[in-house]
Structure 1
Amino acid sequence: MTEENHVVDLNELKTMLQLTSDKHNALLNLIIKNTEQALRFKLSLGDYENIPADLSFIALEVCVRRYNRLANEGMASYSQEGQSITFNSSDFDDFIDDINAWREQNGKNVKSLGRVQFFNPYRGDSRAVQS
């Protein structure tokens, strides 16, 4: 996915983070790329399917969370001088209902039911009973 195809706009992300310089652009672009890749996986999108515009807010919000969590990777919580921060196990946790609803509406939750066979050892043949 090339930079111009990102659903998260670098300038919008910088505005949300109150960053005015270009000092962190390389880091922010990496966060955008990884966040969008993770969201595409969670949505079960193919290589050439775009993240739906109505879910682009998820990518932006997760980018903000990811940036704010820098230097605290792997921590479940952080406390200092009376201030406490608790991190979700995944930056996408608060959006799982939205992700699952989109997947359901777009046929991405289709599960293979497979085939079950039962054999009757008393029949003497191998005819399968399918369910």
Structure 2
Amino acid sequence: MEDYLNDVKIMLGLKKDDQDELLKLIIKNTTASLKVKLALNNDNNIPDSLGYIVTEVSIRRFNRLNNEGMSNYSQEGESITYQSSDFDDFAADIEDYKTQNDIASKSLGTLQALNPYE
């Protein structure tokens, strides 16, 4: 988590530690959400090749604080539009990872129908 914290702080231009607890919570929640999307269990770490997603989504989440639930925000001529999910821009990378690691087929079970009239 400390690597993510340092990367996020550098990208946000934060030099002090007064936001660290908030950033750690955002990073923790972002990591948990990405693990769900990658079908990883709690014992698995985010693959290094996808670690940038944690950093990028954490920054988006931090920048959106106090504007939760909004799809648009306007103030003094500035307009911001939020995506429905912070992970939308990374959907292809997430799917590529799952395909390369055959995760989709592992998570699907077999459905069998029984005919009660036989």
Above 0.5 in TM-score?
A: yes
State the structure with more CA Rg: 1
CA distance in 2, matches of 1:78, 1:28: 22
What's the % identity of the aligned pairs? 47
CA distance in 1, matches of 2:63, 2:114: 52
- The CA deviation at 1:7 is 7.6
Indicate the residue corresponding to 2:74 in structure 1: 79
Greater relative contact order structure (CA < 8 Å, 6+ sep): 2
8 Å CA contact 1:103, 1:109 repeated in 2: yes
CA distance in 2, matches of 1:8, 1:91: 20
Write 1 or 2 for the structure with the bigger share of helix.
2
1:1-131 maps to which residues of 2 (within 5 A)?
6=1, 8-110=3-105, 111-117=108-114, 126=118
| TM-score computed with the length of structure 2 as normaliser | 0.90
C-alpha RMSD of the superposition: 1.6
Structure 1 moving runs of 4+ over 6 Å: none
1:31 counterpart letter in structure 2 = I
Q: Tell me: CA distance 1:100–1:7, structure 2 relative to 1, closer, same or farther (3 Å).
A: farther
CA distance in 1, matches of 2:3, 2:114: 48
Gaps of 5+ in 2: none
| TM-score computed with the length of structure 1 as normaliser | 0.82
Aligned length: 116
